[in-house]
Amino acid sequence: MNVGTSDPKTLAPAAPPAEGILAPPYRAATVGMVSLISLIAFEALAVTTAMPTVARELDGLKAYALAFGGVLATSVIGMTLSGRWSDRKGPAPAMWTGLAGFVLGLLIAGFARDMPTLLVGRLVQGLGAGCLSPALYVIVGRLYPDSLRPKVFASFSAGWVVPALIGPAVSGAIVEHAGWRWVFLGVPLLAIPAAAGLRGALRSLGRPTGKAGTDTTRRMANAIGASLGVCLLFVAGQERGWLAAALFVPAIALLFACGKRLLPPGTLLAARGLPAVIALRGVAASAFFGTEAFLPLAFSREHGLSPMWSGIAISVGALGWFSGSWYQGHYAKVSRQTLLRRGTAMMVIGAVLASLSTFAWMPVAASVAGWLLTGLGMGMLYGTVAVLALSMSGEHEQGTNSSALQLCESLMVATTLAIGGSLFAALLDLSPTAAFAANFAITVTLAALGTVVARRTEIRATP
């Protein structure tokens, strides 16, 4: 993997090109990728809303956690496979395989008559979605010039905003009026036409130049180990007492041992350059999603907000994310590293304000403002990290390094949610305030750690 000096041209946004991301050479690819991302986002959010009904109808409440954890677990395998495949053969095989797996998984889940069948569908779906993500990043890296990549990643963030705002409501209406199966069966009808727009771009991207890594078998073995670790974490989160501990310890061990081998050397220590860039993605995402998981509950329990108003308060973070991403892609006139430092600083301040919702004396408006600031910071750094990772990668490394970005995020978020959830469950009966505070202490610490890691993403020139 290339951890050498970044091209100085990528450290500050270049002058706007004559053509934008919707110019004729890029229009079909841009629309196709954003449409796919929007559909994946909608499906993920919609299933969260529909799953309680699914579990009751299929008598599968005991497997409720695995219905979510299984998708995350198999996506780890898909990401690893896609990254190496894209580096060796280009993004097309990984893209079409991922789309086929995603659609097949949705169809299996939509027609499921029992919970085991639905779980199989979710596992296949996760494998496909995992294949899609790195392939999309490789398309960005190889099709678009450096100056357009920030705008492409800003459009990716935009693809998440509308589903984040309307997904749960639309899903609820579908479940109520058409049945939960259409939450799964409706997406393939739109995903295939959306992906058709990528055919021309994928045909133009052949095999990358350079020699890709050859340790595919070892990487896949580690991906399977990390995937098992994720599944064990979700199962452990449903248990209590000695059984939870017996599952939790090997889960963390598998994640650490296998995850370490899937990431560039030095990632866990945030070594300067590419390892720090990849580490920042995981640290920042863990801080954001770890806070988001418990913030609605804090608003509800400590401040008496209804589910609707709690959801509206959380959607402010999605709007902040989009705004921050749009700013970094279209208006920022500072270096990429400056964007990272500003974004992580915003996240620290915002996470502290949001976490104070633990206490009844904290005004809800102040916590919501903090969550907006957290989203702004996350939006500024999320696309910036992707731009830097691509700029630090050779053409034959873009798949592996894009995969590493997403693997680091998935594994760290899963670990953070598992640890935070376990602490919350253990402390809730003793003191709800202590339970919330313990979880938020983890996420605030991660946000603060992000400010340190952000300063290590720039490679110092040697005399």
Q: What is the Cα–Cα distance from 99 to 86, expressed in whole angstroms?
A: 15
**Residue numbers of the chain with a pLDDT score lower than 70:** 1-18, 65, 210-214, 238-239, 307-308, 460-463
CA-to-CA dists, residue 7 to 146, 208, 394, 461, angstroms:
10, 19, 11, 11
Q: What is the Cα–Cα distance from 76 to 405, expressed in whole angstroms?
A: 11
Choosing among 1.20.1250.20, 3.40.50.300, 3.40.50.150, 3.40.50.720, the CATH entry for 265-458 is 1.20.1250.20
CA-to-CA dists, residue 209 to 7, 353, 405, 443, angstroms:
18, 48, 21, 41
CATH topology of 24-214 equal to that of 265-458?
Answer: yes
Q: Kindly report the three-state secondary structure assignment for every residue of the chain.
A: CCCCCCCHHHHCCCCCCCCCCCCCCCHHHHHHHHHHHHHHHHHHHHHHHHHHHHHHHCCCHHHHHHHHHHHHHHHHHHHHHHHHHHHHHCHHHHHHHHHHHHHHHHHHHHCCCCHHHHHHHHHHHHHHHHHHHHHHHHHHHHHCCHHHHHHHHHHHHHHHHHHHHHHHHHHHHHHHHCCCHHHHHHHHHHHHHHHHCCHHHHHHCCCCCCCCCCCHHHHHHHHHHHHHHHHHHHHHHHCCHHHHHHHHHHHHHHHHHHHHHHCCCCHHHCCCCHHHHHHHHHHHHHHHHHHHHHHHHHHHHHHCCCHHHHHHHHHHHHHHHHHHHHHHHHCCCCCHHHHHHHHHHHHHHHHHHHHHHHCCCCCHHHHHHHHHHHHHHHHHHHHHHHHHHHHCCCCCCHHHHHHHHHHHHHHHHHHHHHHHHHHHHHHHCCCHHHHHHHHHHHHHHHHHHHHHHHCCCCCCCCC
What per-residue confidence (pLDDT) applies to 65?
67
Residue 352, φ and ψ in degrees, nearest 5: -65, -50
What per-residue confidence (pLDDT) applies to 7?
44
Nearest C-alpha neighbor of 8 from the set 456, 336, 383, 397: 336
Report the CATH superfamily, name and number, of domain 24-214: MFS general substrate transporter like domains (1.20.1250.20)
Q: Domain map of the chain by residue range?
A: 24-214, 226-262, 265-458
What per-residue confidence (pLDDT) applies to 170?
79
What per-residue confidence (pLDDT) applies to 2?
42
Sequence-distant (6+) residues with CB within 8 A of 346 are: 324, 373, 374, 376, 377, 380
- Write down the pTM of the prediction: 0.84
* 434 CB-contact burial (10 Å; exposed 0-12 / middle 13-18 / buried 19+): middle
Nearest C-alpha neighbor of 358 from the set 300, 422, 284: 300
What per-residue confidence (pLDDT) applies to 13?
44
pLDDT digits (tens, 9 = 90+) for 196-250: 888 888 888 877 776 666 677 888 899 999 988 888 887 777 667 777 778 888 8
